Chain A
Amino acid sequence: MKMTGAEAVVRALELEGADLIFGYPGGAVTHIYDALHRSDIHHVLVRNEQAAAHAANGYARVTGKVGVCIATSGPGATNMITGIATAYMDSIPMVAITGQVPLSMVGRDVFQEADITGATEPFTKYSYLVKDVNDIPRIFKEAFYLASTGRPGPVLIDIPKDISMATLDFKYPDQVKLRGYKPTYEGHPGQIKRMAKAILESSRPVICIGGGAISSNATPEIIELAETIKAPVASTLMGIGAFPGDHELSLGFLGQHGVYAANRAVSEADLLILLGARMGDRATGKTQEFAQRAKVIHMDIDPAEIGKNVEIDIPIVGDIKTTLKELLKKNISRQDWGWLSTVKKWKAKTEGVGHCTQGLNPMEIIKMLSDMVPEDTVLVTDVGQHQMWAARYYKTRKPRTFLTSGGLGTMGYGLPAALGAKLGCRDKEVILIVGDGGFQMSLGELATIVQERAEVKIMIFNNGYLGMVREIQQQLHEERYYQTAMQGNPDFVKLAHAYGIKSFRVEKEENILEGIRQLLEYKGPIIGEFVIDPTANVIPVSRRDNDETTRISSAG
């Protein structure tokens, strides 16, 4: 069928099932927008291109589909970079489309030209600059395939304006031919055998799950594995939700900001099974001291992750779900000789929530929230202290219901990601916990939330500080607080009113419950501002280890 490049872009999106996309128009994409206008695809007009990418990220994470975002050339494209990098670090399937100046002008520094494929090279799984209109169908087919298979990630397609105006005979390929890209889904049978043997020989096994366990939709298999081999399950920040947080074998959040039981169990384990966890520096602390007593099995679809951060005894390249299914066919059931009861004791020793005298106790709020929400609630966080408190104290019960910027730690992620998540699952409760700092990084998206009638429930944890950095200044810089007090904060309740969003403020402990109830019961977007004790810390003073390197590296 004859059509323009712009129409081909839209047709390809339709064929890939992209019914919802996030973007912001501009001169280089007007033809694509004109074609979108004539299609059934719903376009969400964000207020900044970075938010388009974060919203596509949130949408992709709750739905498991590829998120799509679009921006114009030059500043539109460069604004989107942070969102692309955020998705890359967390392996989120995404296709980012950017307009480009006409092909004949590329390379001459013309108005609104930016080398976006060059700029995003380090943060994309792959990128295309379309040079021939006839390539559009193949490129879109490949882009969606690359974004969603193997280790997922963002793929960028840069489309010069004249290409979107040119005509082609549209034929969508039904297969991709990429000889340099053939992800391994099935684990090596020999390695699976070795894994089974190691399990049977172990007496203190621990499973550690990461984001890969979620991308692979492996929750049922992981539950079966944990119950069969009687191993407790710790989770990295990205793995939260891949194993039910209320399961008796759940240890919770692992790492520098993690909980005692998870860290203790990993350091005492004699067998550690890593499932789709890349074991970044935040999860391991000092790698030399990480899981020293354990034999380590690492299962991941990306061979480049295996052995990168921690030394591995049994590497297995493969999809977690597919490979665990194979493993579970073997006899791996083992007896527990007291390991689980030891672990149980550590779990009982979970740190208390401490006392807050100068404002609300954030940990208490999160615990209450956790007890009150429906099981399939999606919790989105921004970055900072509140994020760590949420990871520690909120019990995530289902996969794809805890959304956070783990790898890049991007402030400003929360609000647009919550918007994207809500539009991806309108039937579920979507709650955002965000600091007063991060909220102001993308508060323009309140308008998008209103425009889309997205019933996002927003909890601003207002401590008047860039709390995470304040905590570091307190502990490492002898309480020299500098540029972390958020003087000039607006009245968040009035601000919400200006957008026509219902809002309230909670300052007293006895009103927390009522506040949460109001958030959950209200039909529509709503903002609750919780005035938090500014001195509340993530790392309890008792656990401070005076080690500069660990503490510095925990700067968010």
Chain B
Amino acid sequence: MKQHVLAVLVENHPGVLSKVSGLFSRRGFNIYSLAVGITEDPSISRITIVVEGDDYTVEQVTKQLNKLIDVIKVSKIGQDSVTRELALIKVKADRKSRHEVIEIINVFRAQIVDIARDYLIVEITGDSDKISAMVDMLNDYEIKEMVRTGAIALDRGSKMIKYEDTDRGGCFNGNNVL
């Protein structure tokens, strides 16, 4: 199913994340990934949500998100954007295999951030496909532990997702002229 990336600006209050994630489970929308962090304005957090679904679903998700009082703005990230995920991977690398593992890591321009006698921790950033490709390769050497973040994304060029005082907030006209 098609994936869509939404950037959601929210009030930086406790409990807001649970309101946003609760909305997804309640209305039966599927979240592929979710990442949250502070923005250039410390009173605003930005949640990047990757949702799966058809156009109807994405429209419903957007409208329901907009309805939450703590949601300041919802924007769709377009094709022309930079998307990144981060993964930390602990992979088996003993004397015999270490060389080959490092070679793979280099090809993906990932970094070794910890090394022990039999293990390495690799840090990789990139889009989802790139990380999956490396995971696929490292699987031959036994991945012991892995952690991945959700995607974060910014539109390229001058396009910016920011709160402006003139914004219509929760309900805006542009959105309803379908």
Interface residues of A (CB under 8 A from B): 117-118, 121-122, 125-126, 129, 146, 150, 178-184, 188, 190-191, 301-304, 306-308, 312, 315-317
Contacts and interface: CB of A to CB of B under 8 A. Distances in A.
A180 B68 contact: yes
Contacts of B170: 150, 180-183
A198 to B, nearest CB: 15
Contacts of B176: 184, 188, 191, 303, 306, 315-317
Give 6 closest A-B pairs by Cβ, nearest first. A182-B169, A304-B63, A317-B176, A180-B72, A184-B171, A126-B69
Contacts of B79: none
B95 interface: no
Contact of A180 (B10, B60, B64, B177): B10
16 contacts: A118-B18, A122-B22, A126-B69, A150-B170, A150-B171, A179-B165, A180-B68, A180-B69, A180-B70, A180-B169, A182-B167, A184-B171, A302-B171, A303-B175, A303-B176, A317-B171
B19 A302 contact: no
A49 to B, nearest CB: 24
A509 to B, nearest CB: 49
Contacts of A317: 171, 173, 175-176
A182 B66 CA distance: 10
A307 B171 contact: no
Chain A CB within 10 Å, residue with most, of B19, B176, B178: B176
A188 B175 contact: no
Given A179-B165, A182-B168, 16 more contacts: A125-B69, A150-B170, A178-B169, A179-B169, A180-B69, A180-B169, A184-B172, A184-B176, A188-B173, A190-B177, A191-B177, A303-B171, A304-B60, A307-B56, A308-B63, A316-B176
Nearest to B64: A304
Contact of A315 (B26, B56, B169, B177): B177
A218 to B, nearest CB: 18
A106 to B, nearest CB: 12
Contacts of A302: 67, 171
B59 interface: yes
Interface in B37-52: none
Nearest to A313: B178
A317 B174 CA distance: 10
A118 B26 CA distance: 13
A109 B71 CA distance: 30
B19 A146 contact: no
B85 interface: no
